[in-house]
Chain A
Amino acid sequence: MTINPAFAPWLDPQAKPIIDFQSVTKNYGDFTAIDNIDLKIYPREFFALLGPSGCGKTTLMRMLAGFETATKGTILIDGQDMADVPAHKRAVNMMFQSYALFPHLSVADNIAFGLKRSDMPKSEIGGRVDEMLRLVQLGKFAKRKPHQLSGGQRQRVALARALAKGPKLLLLDEPLGALDKKLRHETQFELMDIQEKTGTTFVIVTHDQEEAMTVASRIAVMDHGRLAQVDTPDRVYEVPNSVYVADFIGDVNIIRGAVGSVDSDIADLKWSEGAAPIRALAGPDLKPGARAAFAVRPEKVGISQSEPTDMHNRVQGRVEDIAYLGNMSMYFVRLADGTLVKAQVANVRRISRRGITWDDQVWLSWTDTAGIILPD
């Protein structure tokens, strides 16, 4: 996505958040679904809650919609405490995972449903419905019932219905989960387009990290009811703050060891007897001697037949397997101590012209800032 450097309200201490979770906890009996979360989301953001199932992301969203109440803590929307505001009085709309279209109403009536219950004059409702139908390109289908539509069309109706009242905040619960891959990619861009056009704040819940990376201005990676990291997609990917985040987002090589020296933003990791320590970016809270893990993305690991003497980080290994994926190849290299490291190479040349093959002795190398050392 194109990152607009001007849009970063989370860096501005003066900016007023539209959503403010203050030490929010949610318990179901003994089970803690949300564990003391503090989170601010700003107007016009496309914010993604990302995590495996059961991490609490849906609960967090349902608290915004008003279907769950916090056990402890305060939730502010636009500065107003939401504790005693029921779902139907919130200027928040939600797009449900199952779409929840009303089967007994036509597409147009589904979209008009919320408008009829707002203070919009009757004469304006028809115009607004037409406008929403145009927005999601469903003009021809206004009179159809939901079961007369394909999955992708239903998804658009659900979106149009949720946007019709012009909410301050739109919640999307796994909105693209039921679509096939190709349609999902197209729809992601449409969602971003609509979000930009309407200027609504979007909060999306998803377990698909690629989707979150594509659409979101910021991502909150969740783990067992806690926020593991809240940051822009590129920072979550490039500078994860924990092994959990590094492992959850994308493909990663993890090499475990102990912290050697820490020098401001660069640290050393002792990982194998007799091997030179790995030098990489220092993650948060590193102490010399403590257990740590080095995380590096496969595309940042170079592979060569001759020793790259200009690189500090270089290790020798044997090619155990090669996965040819068309646009790129993944080399699985076994190091002397048994660690398996993946190196990804873009196939810019025809495959017959490349020299490395199974069982070759090769050198892997990466720059000092390619990976990061994280507490383990």
Chain B
Amino acid sequence: MRKLTWFNTVSLTLGFAFLYIPIVILVIYSFNKSKLVTVWGGFSPKWYGELLQNQAFLDAAKVTLQVGVVSSTLATVLGTMAAFVIVRGGRFYGRTLFSGMIYAPLVMPEVITGLSLLLLFIAIGMDRGVMTIVLAHATFSMCYVSVVVSSRLVSFDQSLEEAAQDLGCTPWDAFKSVTLPIIAPAVFSGWLLAFTLSLDDLVIASFTSGPASTTLPIKIFSSVRLGVSPEINALSTIMIALVTVGVVTASIVSKRAIAQQKRDEQMAEQ
């Protein structure tokens, strides 16, 4: 290990402080006994207990999870299909336009996406609720999925699919039993990305949600407007903990997979 110079130490400290001090403060205050958010009144986990009693928050959490799972699954199916057409479709007429348009939502301001979806739902007379949020989230997150999956497909050896067909698979069977298992990690990380985006989203959800379908970000945002409560801090801390566990697990799993691969390759050379 090399020792850090004082300059590197300072930059590192400043950088991490900039990133994490707000979060650390939030976590600390979630254990605050006092009801006043900015005054430290001693350590207590009581707000976590209160949170579990708060039906409105629990309902919002349920809606959020439902929306997240359904919309990211829908986005994964659509995004994977789009990725296939872009990577495998050859040079069909209008391909450049189509592949450009699929990535447009990446740079489109959320307010505009949200507003346009709202107008659409009103125009076709669709009642706003869980269904409309699901559709809206699937719409904007499928492009992220298609970016992730198409970058995997570019490096996919197409002769694998041909080999499967050569051995008796129909094209669909070849996709199911060869292509999909191989690109599954990319499809899964696309799904995870879509799920995270759906959990995060406030702007589009607030345009497309109805009275009985409040997601957690909307709920948090509207409660904060009435004043920050320690309960919100507790809720946020739980969310941070969940995300941290997810990220750490994913990175450990992928590191192990790489190490295993290296061992296997060494074995092959003997």
Which of A67, A148, A165 meets B167, CB within 8 Å?
A165
- Shortest distance from the beta carbon of B152 to any chain A beta carbon, whole Å: 13
Do the beta carbons of A104 and B182 come within 8 Å of each other?
Answer: yes
- Could you tell me the distance between the alpha carbons of A161 and B178 in the complex, rounded to whole angstroms? 15
List A63-96 residues whose CB lies under 8 Å from chain B.
Answer: 65-67, 86-88, 92-94, 96
Q: How far is the CA of A153 from the CA of B264 in the complex (A)?
A: 14
Contact status of A150 and B166, CB under 8 A, knowing A98-B157, A100-B157: no
In the bound complex, residues from chain B placing their C-beta under 8 Å from that of A103 are 182
Q: Which residues 5-44 of A sit at the B interface, judged by CB distance below 8 A?
A: none
A interface footprint on B169-183 (CB within 8 Å = 1, 0 otherwise): 111011000100110
Interchain CA distance A87-B164 in the complex, whole Å: 10
User: Interface readout for B139-180 with A: 1 if CB under 8 Å, 0 if not?
Assistant: 000000000000000000101101111111111011000100
CB distance from B26 to the nearest CB of A (A): 43
Q: Is the CB–CB distance between A150 and B268 below 8 Å?
A: yes
CB of A113 closer than 8 Å to a CB of B: yes
CB distance from A167 to the nearest CB of B (A): 9
Q: Is the CB of B165 within 8 A of A88?
A: yes
Q: For the complex, what is the distance from the CA of A294 to the CA of B162, rounded to whole Å?
A: 45
A87 touches B162 (CB 8 A): yes
Known contacts A93-B166, A98-B157, A148-B264: A117-B182 contact under CB 8 Å: no
Given contacts A98-B159, A147-B265, contact A87 B178 (CB under 8 A): no
- Asked if A100 and B163 make an inter-chain contact with CB atoms under 8 angstroms apart, the answer reads yes
For B180, the closest partner residue in chain A by CB is A104
Q: Using Cβ atoms and an 8 Å threshold, which residues of chain B touch A100?
A: 157, 159-160, 162-163
> For this complex, into which size category does the number of interface residues on chain B fall?
20 to 34
Q: Determine the distance from Cα of A67 to Cα of B159 in the docked complex, in whole angstroms.
A: 10
Q: How many residues on the A side are at the interface (Cβ–Cβ under 8 A)?
A: 29
Nearest residue (CB) in B for A173 is B159
Q: A100-B157, A104-B181, A148-B268 are in contact. Are A117 and B162 (CB under 8 A)?
A: no
B261 at the interface (CB under 8 A from A): yes
Q: How far is the CA of A67 from the CA of B161 in the complex (A)?
A: 11
Q: A67-B162, A104-B182 are in contact. Are A114 and B167 (CB under 8 A)?
A: yes
User: What residues of A have a CB within 8 angstroms of the CB of B168 in the complex?
Assistant: 88, 114, 117-118, 165
B163 touches A94 (CB 8 A): yes
The answer to whether the Cβ of A184 comes within 8 Å of any Cβ in the partner chain is no
Q: How far is the CA of A227 from the CA of B55 in the complex (A)?
A: 80
CB <8 Å contact, A113 and B268:
no
Chain A binding surface SS class: loop
Most B CB atoms within 10 A — which of A87, A113, A161? A87
A135 to chain B, nearest CB (A): 17
- Check A149 for interface membership: any CB of B closer than 8 A: yes
Instruction: Please name the residue on chain A nearest to B163 by beta carbon.
Output: A100
Contact B164 A147 (CB under 8 A): no
CA A92 to CA B264, docked complex, whole Å: 33
User: Given the complex of chains A and B, what is the CA–CA distance between A147 and B165 in angstroms?
Assistant: 22
Q: A128: CB under 8 A from chain B?
A: no
Q: Are B169 and A102 in contact (CB under 8 A)?
A: no
- Tell me which residues across on chain A come within 8 A of B169, comparing CB atoms: 88, 117
**Selected contact of A148 from candidates B170, B178, B267, CB within 8 Å:** B267
Q: Which residue of A lies closest to B161 (CB)?
A: A100
A88 adjacent to B166 (CB under 8 Å): yes
- Chain B residues contacting A149 (CB-CB under 8 Å) are 268
Query: Given contacts A96-B159, A98-B159, A103-B182, is CB(A117)–CB(B261) below 8 Å?
Result: no
CA gap between A149 and B265 in the complex, in Å = 8
Q: Inside 8 A of A150's CB, which chain B residues have their CB? A: 268-269
Instruction: Tell me whether A113 and B157 are in contact in the complex, defined as CB-CB below 8 angstroms, given that A148-B267, A150-B268 are known contacts.
Output: no
Q: A104-B182, A148-B264, A150-B269 are in contact. Are A96 and B162 (CB under 8 A)?
A: yes
With a cutoff of 8 Å between Cβ atoms, the chain B residues found around residue A153 in the complex are: 268
Neighbouring A residues of B157 by C-beta, 8 Å: 98, 100
Output the least CB separation between B205 and chain A (Å).
Answer: 37
A153 to B173, CA, bound (A): 27
Complex alpha-carbon distance, A66 and B164, angstroms: 13
- Chain A's nearest CB lies how many Å from the CB of B93? 15
A312 within 8 A of partner (CB): no
How distant is the Cα of A67 from the Cα of B164 in the complex, in angstroms? 12
* Assembly CA distance A162 to B168 (angstroms): 11
A114 to B168, alpha carbons, bound, how many Å? 6
Residues on the A chain within 8 Å of B160, using CB: 100, 102
A364, B158: Cα distance in complex, Å: 54
- Interface centre among B163, B173, B261, by most chain A C-beta atoms within 10 angstroms, is B163
Q: List 27 A-B contacts (CB under 8 A).
A: A65-B166, A67-B165, A87-B165, A87-B166, A88-B168, A88-B170, A88-B171, A88-B173, A92-B166, A94-B162, A94-B163, A96-B163, A98-B157, A98-B159, A100-B162, A104-B181, A114-B167, A114-B168, A117-B167, A118-B168, A147-B264, A147-B268, A150-B268, A150-B269, A153-B268, A162-B166, A165-B167
Further contacts, 16 of them, CB under 8 A, given A67-B162, A100-B159: A86-B165, A87-B166, A88-B168, A88-B169, A88-B173, A93-B166, A94-B163, A94-B166, A104-B182, A114-B167, A117-B167, A117-B169, A118-B168, A147-B264, A148-B265, A161-B163
**Closest 9 CB pairs between A and B?**
A114-B167, A117-B168, A100-B163, A100-B159, A87-B165, A148-B264, A96-B159, A104-B181, A88-B165
